[in-house]
Structure 1
Amino acid sequence: MLDHLTLHVKDIDRSITFYKQALAPLGYIVKAHHEPTLGFGVDDGTLHSDFYVSPIEGLEAEASPVTPVTHIAFLADSQQAVQAFHAAALAAGGRDNGAPGPRPYHPGYYSAFVLDPDGNNIEAVVDWAHSNE
Protein backbone atom coordinates (compact mmCIF):
# COMPACT_ATOMS: atom_id res chain seq x y z
CA MET A 1 0.00 0.00 0.00
CA LEU A 2 1.35 3.43 -0.92
CA ASP A 3 1.36 6.27 1.57
CA HIS A 4 2.43 9.02 -0.83
CA LEU A 5 4.41 9.77 -3.97
CA THR A 6 6.30 12.79 -5.28
CA LEU A 7 6.31 13.96 -8.87
CA HIS A 8 9.36 16.03 -9.82
CA VAL A 9 8.62 18.82 -12.29
CA LYS A 10 10.56 21.43 -14.26
CA ASP A 11 8.40 24.47 -13.43
CA ILE A 12 6.94 24.21 -9.93
CA ASP A 13 4.63 27.22 -10.19
CA ARG A 14 3.15 26.07 -13.49
CA SER A 15 2.64 22.55 -12.16
CA ILE A 16 1.08 23.68 -8.86
CA THR A 17 -1.40 25.81 -10.81
CA PHE A 18 -2.17 22.87 -13.11
CA TYR A 19 -2.70 20.31 -10.33
CA LYS A 20 -4.81 22.63 -8.15
CA GLN A 21 -7.27 22.99 -11.01
CA ALA A 22 -7.05 19.49 -12.49
CA LEU A 23 -7.46 17.61 -9.19
CA ALA A 24 -10.22 19.79 -7.67
CA PRO A 25 -13.01 17.69 -9.27
CA LEU A 26 -11.54 14.63 -7.53
CA GLY A 27 -11.73 16.33 -4.12
CA TYR A 28 -8.00 17.10 -3.87
CA ILE A 29 -6.71 20.23 -2.17
CA VAL A 30 -3.28 21.50 -1.11
CA LYS A 31 -2.68 20.22 2.41
CA ALA A 32 1.08 20.15 3.04
CA HIS A 33 3.29 23.18 2.53
CA HIS A 34 6.98 22.23 2.37
CA GLU A 35 7.96 25.13 0.12
CA PRO A 36 8.57 24.85 -2.72
CA THR A 37 7.07 21.34 -2.54
CA LEU A 38 3.32 21.14 -2.01
CA GLY A 39 1.34 18.09 -0.97
CA PHE A 40 -2.16 17.36 -2.22
CA GLY A 41 -4.71 15.10 -0.61
CA VAL A 42 -8.42 14.45 -0.52
CA ASP A 43 -10.32 17.07 1.50
CA ASP A 44 -11.16 14.66 4.32
CA GLY A 45 -10.36 16.77 7.39
CA THR A 46 -6.96 15.13 7.95
CA LEU A 47 -3.47 16.51 7.35
CA HIS A 48 -2.45 13.53 5.18
CA SER A 49 -1.21 14.29 1.67
CA ASP A 50 -0.63 11.44 -0.74
CA PHE A 51 0.55 13.32 -3.83
CA TYR A 52 3.44 15.80 -3.76
CA VAL A 53 4.73 18.07 -6.51
CA SER A 54 8.35 19.13 -6.13
CA PRO A 55 10.86 20.89 -8.39
CA ILE A 56 13.75 19.05 -10.00
CA GLU A 57 16.83 20.39 -8.27
CA GLY A 58 20.59 20.05 -8.15
CA LEU A 59 22.42 17.34 -10.01
CA GLU A 60 19.20 15.64 -11.04
CA ALA A 61 18.13 18.75 -12.96
CA GLU A 62 21.58 19.22 -14.50
CA ALA A 63 21.92 15.58 -15.53
CA SER A 64 18.80 15.51 -17.66
CA PRO A 65 17.16 18.36 -19.50
CA VAL A 66 14.11 16.12 -19.92
CA THR A 67 11.83 15.12 -17.06
CA PRO A 68 11.14 11.36 -17.07
CA VAL A 69 7.56 10.67 -18.09
CA THR A 70 5.46 9.17 -15.32
CA HIS A 71 1.96 7.69 -15.27
CA ILE A 72 -0.23 8.42 -12.25
CA ALA A 73 -3.86 7.32 -11.87
CA PHE A 74 -6.15 9.03 -9.37
CA LEU A 75 -9.26 7.20 -8.17
CA ALA A 76 -12.50 9.04 -8.93
CA ASP A 77 -15.82 8.33 -7.25
CA SER A 78 -17.96 8.55 -10.41
CA GLN A 79 -17.86 8.84 -14.17
CA GLN A 80 -18.96 12.46 -13.75
CA ALA A 81 -15.86 13.12 -11.62
CA VAL A 82 -13.67 11.59 -14.36
CA GLN A 83 -15.33 13.88 -16.91
CA ALA A 84 -14.92 16.93 -14.64
CA PHE A 85 -11.24 16.06 -14.06
CA HIS A 86 -10.63 15.85 -17.80
CA ALA A 87 -12.35 19.19 -18.47
CA ALA A 88 -10.55 20.92 -15.56
CA ALA A 89 -7.16 19.53 -16.59
CA LEU A 90 -7.62 20.73 -20.17
CA ALA A 91 -8.74 24.15 -18.92
CA ALA A 92 -5.60 24.26 -16.75
CA GLY A 93 -3.38 23.77 -19.79
CA GLY A 94 -3.18 19.98 -19.96
CA ARG A 95 -3.22 18.14 -23.27
CA ASP A 96 -5.78 15.48 -24.07
CA ASN A 97 -4.35 11.97 -24.00
CA GLY A 98 -7.64 10.03 -23.93
CA ALA A 99 -11.15 11.44 -23.59
CA PRO A 100 -13.41 10.13 -20.81
CA GLY A 101 -14.84 6.74 -21.61
CA PRO A 102 -14.73 2.99 -21.00
CA ARG A 103 -11.42 1.27 -21.57
CA PRO A 104 -10.85 -2.28 -22.82
CA TYR A 105 -8.63 -3.23 -19.85
CA HIS A 106 -11.51 -5.02 -18.12
CA PRO A 107 -15.25 -4.51 -17.60
CA GLY A 108 -16.16 -1.44 -15.54
CA TYR A 109 -12.94 0.50 -16.19
CA TYR A 110 -13.82 4.12 -17.07
CA SER A 111 -11.12 6.74 -17.28
CA ALA A 112 -9.66 9.84 -18.91
CA PHE A 113 -6.05 10.79 -19.58
CA VAL A 114 -4.27 14.15 -19.84
CA LEU A 115 -0.65 15.14 -20.21
CA ASP A 116 0.48 17.60 -17.55
CA PRO A 117 2.83 20.54 -18.31
CA ASP A 118 5.86 18.18 -18.19
CA GLY A 119 4.26 15.49 -20.36
CA ASN A 120 3.36 13.13 -17.51
CA ASN A 121 0.35 10.94 -18.24
CA ILE A 122 -2.25 11.72 -15.58
CA GLU A 123 -5.39 9.58 -15.35
CA ALA A 124 -8.63 9.71 -13.39
CA VAL A 125 -10.35 6.34 -13.15
CA VAL A 126 -13.47 4.65 -11.85
CA ASP A 127 -12.81 0.94 -11.65
CA TRP A 128 -15.36 -1.85 -11.35
CA ALA A 129 -14.37 -2.42 -7.73
CA HIS A 130 -14.97 1.24 -6.83
CA SER A 131 -17.74 2.32 -9.19
CA ASN A 132 -20.96 3.54 -7.63
CA GLU A 133 -22.80 3.71 -10.92
Structure 2
Amino acid sequence: MLLYTTVGTNDLARAGRFYDAVLPFLGYRRQKEAPGEIGYGADADVRCRFWVVEPFNREPATFGNGVTVALVSPTRAAVDAFHAAALAQGGTDEGAPGLRPFHASFYAAFIRDHDGNKLAAVCEKPE
Protein backbone atom coordinates (compact mmCIF):
# COMPACT_ATOMS: atom_id res chain seq x y z
CA MET A 1 0.00 0.00 0.00
CA LEU A 2 2.72 2.51 0.85
CA LEU A 3 5.22 3.47 -1.82
CA TYR A 4 7.77 5.00 0.55
CA THR A 5 8.05 7.00 3.75
CA THR A 6 10.32 9.83 4.82
CA VAL A 7 11.55 11.18 8.14
CA GLY A 8 13.13 14.59 8.43
CA THR A 9 16.49 15.40 9.94
CA ASN A 10 18.47 18.47 10.89
CA ASP A 11 21.79 16.61 10.66
CA LEU A 12 21.92 14.21 7.71
CA ALA A 13 25.36 12.80 8.55
CA ARG A 14 24.33 11.96 12.12
CA ALA A 15 21.04 10.49 10.95
CA GLY A 16 22.87 8.39 8.36
CA ARG A 17 25.16 6.93 11.03
CA PHE A 18 22.13 6.15 13.20
CA TYR A 19 20.10 4.45 10.48
CA ASP A 20 23.13 2.65 9.03
CA ALA A 21 23.52 1.03 12.46
CA VAL A 22 19.88 0.11 13.17
CA LEU A 23 18.15 -0.69 9.86
CA PRO A 24 20.28 -3.70 8.81
CA PHE A 25 18.62 -5.72 11.60
CA LEU A 26 15.35 -5.30 9.70
CA GLY A 27 16.84 -6.14 6.31
CA TYR A 28 17.35 -2.58 5.05
CA ARG A 29 20.60 -0.99 3.95
CA ARG A 30 21.66 2.35 2.54
CA GLN A 31 21.13 2.16 -1.22
CA LYS A 32 21.18 5.78 -2.33
CA GLU A 33 22.58 9.06 -1.18
CA ALA A 34 22.21 12.48 -2.74
CA PRO A 35 22.48 16.01 -1.38
CA GLY A 36 19.89 16.29 1.38
CA GLU A 37 18.71 12.67 1.40
CA ILE A 38 19.62 9.07 2.13
CA GLY A 39 17.51 6.15 0.88
CA TYR A 40 17.24 2.71 2.46
CA GLY A 41 15.77 -0.43 0.97
CA ALA A 42 15.80 -4.19 1.12
CA ASP A 43 18.19 -6.02 -1.17
CA ALA A 44 15.29 -7.69 -2.98
CA ASP A 45 13.53 -4.37 -3.63
CA VAL A 46 14.52 -2.20 -6.58
CA ARG A 47 13.44 0.99 -4.86
CA CYS A 48 14.21 2.70 -1.58
CA ARG A 49 11.20 2.57 0.71
CA PHE A 50 12.57 4.56 3.66
CA TRP A 51 14.18 7.97 3.21
CA VAL A 52 15.91 10.29 5.66
CA VAL A 53 15.75 13.82 4.31
CA GLU A 54 16.52 17.42 5.02
CA PRO A 55 13.20 19.22 4.56
CA PHE A 56 12.73 20.50 1.01
CA ASN A 57 11.40 23.84 2.27
CA ARG A 58 14.68 24.46 4.19
CA GLU A 59 12.75 24.85 7.47
CA PRO A 60 13.93 22.85 10.50
CA ALA A 61 12.84 19.21 10.56
CA THR A 62 10.22 18.41 13.17
CA PHE A 63 8.45 15.20 14.12
CA GLY A 64 4.73 14.56 14.05
CA ASN A 65 2.89 14.09 17.33
CA GLY A 66 1.08 10.78 16.96
CA VAL A 67 3.17 9.66 13.97
CA THR A 68 4.98 6.31 14.09
CA VAL A 69 6.75 4.61 11.21
CA ALA A 70 6.44 0.85 11.80
CA LEU A 71 8.89 -1.39 9.95
CA VAL A 72 8.45 -5.12 9.49
CA SER A 73 10.99 -7.23 11.32
CA PRO A 74 11.84 -10.78 10.21
CA THR A 75 12.16 -12.10 13.79
CA ARG A 76 11.66 -11.12 17.39
CA ALA A 77 15.42 -11.30 17.86
CA ALA A 78 15.78 -8.68 15.11
CA VAL A 79 13.31 -6.44 16.99
CA ASP A 80 15.48 -6.80 20.09
CA ALA A 81 18.66 -6.05 18.11
CA PHE A 82 17.08 -3.01 16.39
CA HIS A 83 16.06 -1.60 19.77
CA ALA A 84 19.48 -2.22 21.36
CA ALA A 85 21.32 -0.71 18.39
CA ALA A 86 19.07 2.37 18.42
CA LEU A 87 19.78 2.98 22.10
CA ALA A 88 23.52 2.39 21.58
CA GLN A 89 23.44 5.05 18.83
CA GLY A 90 21.83 7.62 21.14
CA GLY A 91 18.20 6.96 20.29
CA THR A 92 15.49 7.18 22.94
CA ASP A 93 13.44 4.27 24.24
CA GLU A 94 9.73 4.67 23.54
CA GLY A 95 8.77 1.07 24.40
CA ALA A 96 11.04 -1.87 25.11
CA PRO A 97 10.76 -5.03 23.00
CA GLY A 98 7.78 -7.17 23.93
CA LEU A 99 4.33 -8.39 23.04
CA ARG A 100 1.66 -5.75 22.59
CA PRO A 101 -2.12 -6.14 22.99
CA PHE A 102 -2.91 -5.59 19.30
CA HIS A 103 -2.93 -9.35 18.70
CA ALA A 104 -1.31 -12.46 20.18
CA SER A 105 1.85 -12.31 18.02
CA PHE A 106 2.43 -8.54 17.81
CA TYR A 107 6.00 -8.20 19.11
CA ALA A 108 7.39 -4.69 18.85
CA ALA A 109 9.88 -2.13 20.10
CA PHE A 110 9.58 1.63 19.79
CA ILE A 111 12.38 4.22 19.59
CA ARG A 112 12.96 7.84 18.69
CA ASP A 113 15.91 8.97 16.59
CA HIS A 114 18.00 12.10 17.28
CA ASP A 115 15.40 14.30 15.56
CA GLY A 116 12.49 12.87 17.56
CA ASN A 117 11.06 10.69 14.78
CA LYS A 118 9.31 7.66 16.28
CA LEU A 119 9.93 4.26 14.73
CA ALA A 120 8.77 0.78 15.57
CA ALA A 121 10.16 -2.58 14.61
CA VAL A 122 7.40 -5.19 14.52
CA CYS A 123 7.43 -8.96 14.15
CA GLU A 124 4.00 -10.55 13.80
CA LYS A 125 5.20 -14.14 13.54
CA PRO A 126 4.35 -16.45 16.41
CA GLU A 127 7.47 -17.67 18.19
Return the TM-score normalized by structure 1: 0.85
* Structure 1: 4+ residue segments shifted above 2 A: 33-36, 56-59
Counterpart amino acid of residue 67 in structure 1: T
Counterpart amino acid of residue 96 in structure 1: D
Q: Tell me the equivalent position of 1:47.
A: 46
Q: Tell me the equivalent position of 1:67.
A: 62
Contact 2:8 2:115 in 1 (8 A): no
Q: Tell me, which stretches of 5 or more residues in structure 1 are unaligned?
A: none
Q: Tell me the equivalent position of 2:34.
A: 34
Q: Tell me the equivalent position of 1:119.
A: 116
In the alignment, the residues of structure 2 paired with residue 53 and residue 66 of structure 1 have an alpha-carbon distance, to the nearest angstrom, of: 11
Q: Tell me, which stretches of 5 or more residues in structure 2 are unaligned?
A: none
In the alignment, the residues of structure 1 paired with residue 111 and residue 87 of structure 2 have an alpha-carbon distance, to the nearest angstrom, of: 7
Q: Tell me the equivalent position of 1:97.
A: 94
Q: Tell me the equivalent position of 1:84.
A: 81
Return the TM-score normalized by structure 2: 0.89
In the alignment, the residues of structure 1 paired with residue 47 and residue 94 of structure 2 have an alpha-carbon distance, to the nearest angstrom, of: 29
Counterpart amino acid of residue 3 in structure 2: D
Deviation, 1:43, is 2.3
What is the total number of aligned residue pairs between the two structures? Answer: 125
Choose 1 or 2 for highest CA Rg: 1
Contact 2:9 2:115 in 1 (8 A): yes
